[in-house]
Amino acid sequence: MLIGFAALAVPVIFHFIARHKFPIRDFPSLMLLRKRERPNALSWRPIDLFQLLLRLAVLAILVLAMARGFSPESKEPAPRNLVIILDTSTSMNLPTDPAADKDLSSLKLARQKAKEMLREIKLPSRCALVAAGTEAKILSPLGNAPTKAIAELDKIETGAGAGDNLVRAIALGAEMIRGLREVRSQIVIFTDGRAHSFGKRHPRDLREIAELKQQLGDHLDIVMVDLAQGGAENLAIIQSAVKGRVRLGRDTHVMTRVKNYGTNTSLARVELSLAGEKEPMGREFSLLPGAEAVVDLTARAERRLPQPFAEVSLQLPEGEGAAIRKMNDANSADNRFDLPFITEQVRRILIVDGTDAAGSGLTVLPGQEPGKVDLDDTINGSRILEFVLNPSRELGLAYGTGLRTTRILLEELGNETLSKYDLVILYDVSELSDERKVDLHTFVKEGRSLLLVCSASLNALNFNNKLAAGDDPLSPVQIDNDLKLDPGSVILFDTKRHDIEGIPYVPHALVSHFLNLRSGDLSLVSFNTLRGVRGFSKDARILLRDDQNHPLIIDRPLGDGVVAVTTFGMELGRGNLAMSRVFPLLAWTLVDHLTGQLKVKPSFSLTALRAVSLDVSEPGFA
């Protein structure tokens, strides 16, 4: 900034330039309107020497003030912009030197060092404080009041879990000192140097740090102070999360990451507790120094929890050396992890039975003669479907699948309030009154779903005239008579999209769910009788088909909801579906699809195909 002294030559030049002055005379004349020029002329001595010296003095003072000169003998530090970043992850609770002082944790040591640096801040220096835990927070913005930052230091506590936002915290510090080139800037990070601290590396943050380094050059120092303890033994739960959704009566997987931060191989046992009750299946394992393990814990929610939280705990196995292992655990605070465990809402399903009592839809129980069958002892397709959707409830058990079914006759449909149901199933319903048809149209268009099961006693002519006719039909297909299959057909496991006679085949998640054969083998299901299909609506889609290219499940969107049709029934005489082990899972997956549980939710992050950043904090996104 001392180059500014060169500007002192400007007033000197001006003061050496003189103008010819005309004498003032009073006389009556119009000659004053005559144009006369007054040319400038250089003078060999400055004009108004006192004013020149005054101007030079003012400019010199301004140059010296902007240069911020200091005396070599001064003990005061040079002015600077100081940004202190504190890592608040759980590992900062570990002692820096267990052999010397177990009470002095890395966080306490970081507070001490940070306070010493902040007390040195005096005008014109400025300081700021940022905490980096599960999220990066600016506790004290850049300013010339270090007392505020010191007060915020005492309030900092370690968080639960891994603090993986150090990169984001450094980017926040870079934003505060951007463009400040008149003094030196320093970003000081106090951390224990764990790898998880740098887990989140957003391209936008990395780009901001690189641009700031390029802009300030030697005027920027990024210093990392490593507070890692030497040789402390510690097993820690880094992260725990529920995989998928929590459903009543279904197994739920809780994925837990455990890491050994010590220098010796350690034994550990991970256990899961729901509502204070410990699950019987824990996992015991050993970890090498620095190794990390992902533990899959399984729990079954058979009822709604009074407190929707699960607790994952890290226990040291009992036996020889258990007391020594417990003493050597440097930080017991990271041996427990609480996570939300919220079960899904109960979905209500209405099953409307339109089966003809005298038709072939009824199946005789084994050991009975057809002539002596009582209707109360017969099992038809709607009864089998009701049982498989929630078998625990039908057996009188205290838990279930989260599906609450209500089974009525077709004549009782007008007495039901459809708005309280998520799904309506019409089983062998051949025709509906115009009023009921309008009700179901409105029900589906408002975001609910309708399933039409076409089995033996369905009247194809009435069905096509009432449910599959018109510009906006309920059914996506027109039904034909029964198809006798010899040999029988099996479900085809096909995950590729293509067209079948001009109709798109979209396997969706209904088939992809069975990619893992442990979930069930669809090829074991066979049919000897199916309902034929005469025609499709313009927006129909085939979700499932057999190996003889017959559609099994067809659906179409209607408003905000979905209407689906099955060409197979659940009766025992039409195939082995009701006797297969995969039938319950297939039925539950179909209900999930119809109730919107299989919809792919949009991602919370955007992946750029080129080096362009999308910043949602810009005013245009406000």
Q: Tokens 């209607």: give the residue.
A: 558
Q: Choose the weakest-confidence range: 255-259, 276-280, 571-575.
A: 276-280
Q: Report the run of H or E that residue 421 belongs to, with start and end.
A: none
Residue-wise pLDDT tens digits, 32-61: 555 566 565 556 667 677 787 888 888 888
**pLDDT interval class at 136 (50, 70, 90):** confident
* CA 608 distance to own-chain centroid: 18
In angstroms, how far is CA 221 from the centroid of its own chain? 35
Q: What is the DSSP letter of 93?
A: G
Q: What mean pLDDT is predicted for residues 137-164? A: 81
Q: Which tens digits make up the pLDDT trace of 294-351? A: 888 888 776 666 667 788 888 876 654 444 454 456 666 678 888 888 777 778 899 9
**Confidence band, pLDDT 50/70/90 cuts, at residue 362:** very low
- Model confidence band, residue 620 (pLDDT cutoffs 50, 70, 90): very low
pLDDT class of 374 with cuts at 50, 70, 90 = very low
* Token duo for residue 365: 């129980």
| Banded pLDDT at 162 (limits 50, 70, 90) | low
Q: Residue for token digits 């007392």?
A: 147
* pLDDT score, position 339: 82
> In percent, how much of the chain has pLDDT > 90?
11
Lowest mean pLDDT among 69-83, 380-394, 424-438: 69-83
Residues 58-106: tens digit of each pLDDT: 888 887 777 655 555 556 667 888 999 988 887 777 776 655 666 778 8
Q: Which helix (H) or strand (E) holds 186?
A: strand 184-191
Question: Token match 């049919």: residue?
Answer: 527
pLDDT for the residue 612: 47
CATH of domain 235-340: 2.60.40.10
Most confident of 1-5, 90-94, 516-520: 90-94
Per-residue pLDDT band at 132 (split at 50, 70, 90):
confident
Query: Would you call 312 helix, strand, or coil by DSSP?
Result: strand
pLDDT of residue 35: 59
Query: What fold is seen in the domain 80-226?
Result: Rossmann fold (3.40.50)
Tell whether the model's pLDDT for residue 119 goes beyond 70.
yes
Kindly state the percentage of the chain with pLDDT values over 70: 73
Average confidence (pLDDT) over 398-405: 74
Q: How far is CA 26 from CA 20, 32, 186, 253, 610, in A?
A: 19, 11, 71, 107, 80
List the chain domain ranges: 1-21+40-70, 80-226, 235-340, 347-594
Equal fold, 80-226 vs 235-340 = no
What is the length of the chain?
622
pLDDT score, position 328: 54
DSSP 28: -
When comparing pLDDT for 276 and 398, which is higher? 276
Residue 451 has a pLDDT of 94
Q: Name the CATH superfamily housing domain 347-594.
A: Class I glutamine amidotransferase (GATase) domain (3.40.50.880)
Query: Pairing state of beta strands 526-536 and 541-545?
Result: unpaired
**pLDDT at residue 278, as a whole number:** 81
First to last CA, the chain: 41
